[in-house]
């Protein structure tokens, strides 16, 4: 099923919570020691936001579909696994934001990882249970595994290096495939941004300087490896062929440069927060695409 809309909702709510306060710069500065009012505010806010998100999903996403007994499905062959990469990305980013807000409250590193870094896995797996009670979808073990990979990528790097040397990012461009099945792929840009897997690219963005600390490589320069797919107007090929007989599904691999916005030096905690949020998006750069046994150069790919 289409997962991105549901999983970006709490991220956007957390961002709104941060930006709606007065005296933002001092407010956003992380505490050096445990700040109990901040900790309590984080706990209460995340509980309320998480509950509101789940209630909202139940009313807005699932209400129009028939309920069923808890059941599982095997959807691992759908969308050329683009939906699974979406789960990895969402789990990673929610875990990163969860740990960041606990760092802001002054919690120690272990608590940040245990209670914040696992936020994505806990929330997304709860949503997966909702899917399991919906006749339209079902509980997917593949989705849960992807959630675990995203969470492990964040926590594992913090334990190994105490920093994120490899980040997950996202980019999007509109495609002609959405118009062939707008109910599945979206009827406008905003829907397509979340639903059209043909236009989505997920990136592993590696910070080069972090692996060569003594080098003169700019700390903000990354090299990025992307994955995408095209030719999909439904989840599996057989259904696709009923809608478009000449539709060819294929995977795409990309090589590009990127900017690590989190490594841009600034004394403004407000700007650091803004850069951290936008660091989820791949910066457009000249890119090489490898697909269908050919190599294509894009002067500017996004």
Q: What is the pLDDT of residues 177-209, one digit of tens each?
A: 999 999 889 998 988 998 999 999 999 999 999
Residue partners of 219: CB distance under 8 A and separation at least 6: 207, 209, 210, 260, 263
Pairwise CA distance, residues 120 & 122, whole Å: 6
Q: Give 5-54 pLDDT, tens digit per residue.
A: 455 555 444 454 444 444 666 777 888 888 888 888 888 888 888 888 88
Closest CA to 92 of 268, 280, 221, 282: 280
**134, 139, 143, 147 alpha-carbon torsion, rounded to 10°:** 100
**Rg (alpha carbons) of the chain, rounded to whole number:** 20
**What does pTM read for this prediction?**
0.87
Tell me the mean pLDDT in the region 213-223: 95
pLDDT of residue 246: 65
Pairwise CA distance, residues 138 & 130, whole Å: 8
């Amino acid at each position: 099923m289409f997962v991105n809309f549901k999983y970006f909702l709490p991220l956007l709510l957390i961002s709104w919570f941060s930006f709606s306060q007065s005296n933002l710069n001092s407010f956003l500065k992380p505490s050096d020691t445990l700040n109990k009012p901040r900790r309590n505010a984080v706990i209460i806010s995340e509980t309320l936001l998480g509950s509101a998100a789940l209630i909202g999903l139940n009313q807005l996403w699932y209400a129009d579909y028939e309920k069923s007994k808890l059941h599982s499905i095997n959807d691992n062959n759908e969308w050329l696994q683009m939906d699974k990469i979406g789960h990895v990305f969402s789990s990673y980013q929610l875990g990163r934001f969860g740990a960041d807000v606990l760092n802001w409250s002054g919690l120690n590193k272990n608590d940040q990882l245990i209670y914040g870094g696992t936020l994505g896995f806990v929330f997304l797996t709860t949503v997966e249970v909702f899917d399991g009670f919906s006749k339209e979808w079902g509980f997917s073990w593949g989705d849960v595994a992807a959630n675990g990979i995203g969470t492990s990528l964040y926590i594992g790097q913090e334990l190994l290096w105490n920093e994120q040397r490899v980040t997950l990012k996202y980019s999007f461009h509109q495609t002609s495939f959405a118009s062939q099945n707008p109910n599945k792929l979206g009827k406008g840009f905003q829907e397509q941004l979340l639903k059209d897997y043909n236009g989505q690219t997920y990136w592993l963005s590696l910070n080069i300087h972090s692996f060569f600390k003594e080098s003169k490589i700019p700390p903000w320069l990354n090299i990025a490896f992307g994955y995408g797919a095209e030719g999909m107007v439904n989840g599996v090929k057989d259904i696709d062929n009923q809608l478009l007989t000449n539709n060819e599904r294929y995977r795409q691999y990309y090589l590009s440069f990127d900017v690590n916005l989190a490594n841009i030096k600034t004394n403004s905690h407000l700007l650091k927060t803004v850069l951290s949020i936008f660091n989820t998006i791949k910066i457009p750069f000249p890119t090489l695409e490898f697909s269908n046994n050919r190599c294509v150069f894009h002067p500017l790919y996004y």
